[in-house]
Structure 1
Amino acid sequence: MPIVTIQQFPRDLEQKRRLARRITEAFEEVYGARAESVQVFFHEVDGEHWARGGEMGCDIPRD
């Protein structure tokens, strides 16, 4: 049973649906896994809960 955990900034639900589908398809194709056996967990972290280079994510300018 493949389990994939994704840590990311909050994303739109439709984007997560598309990504989960593509990840599942990859496991089906490469491993021969059944779609029902693939689990994808999204762990979303906003800028107040992470830091890079000593700066909080919410204080770092985004491009």
Structure 2
Amino acid sequence: MPIVTIQQSPRSVEMKRELANKITEAFVQAYEVPPEAVQIFFSETNHENWAKGGELAIDRK
């Protein structure tokens, strides 16, 4: 069974719902598995808890 982990800054429930649907459909088509076999975990980190290029995301403009 495919397991997908997505690490991201917070997104709306609507956006996660749409992404989960599209990722599931991609696995159904590519791997020929039933939708219920696909698991997706969203791991969200606030901007003050991650950095890029040595700068916290909360400080980026």
Judge same fold: TM > 0.5, yes or no: yes
SS at match of 2:11: coil
Q: Which amino acid aligns with 1:34?
A: P
Q: Which amino acid aligns with 2:53?
A: G
**RMSD in angstroms over aligned alpha carbons?**
0.6
| Residue 2 (structure 2) pairs with residue 29 (structure 1) | no
Unaligned runs of 5+ in 2: none
- Per-residue CA deviations over 1:7-57 (Å, capped at 9, x if unaligned) read 111001011001000000000001001101100000111111111111111
Matched with 1:18 is 18
Matched with 2:45 is 45
Matched with 2:7 is 7
Task: Supply the distance in 2 between the matched residues of 1:59 and 1:29 (Cα, whole angstroms).
Answer: 41
Percent identity of equivalent pairs = 56
Report runs of 4+ in structure 1 exceeding 6 Å deviation: none
Unaligned runs of 5+ in 1: none
Aligned pairs, number: 61
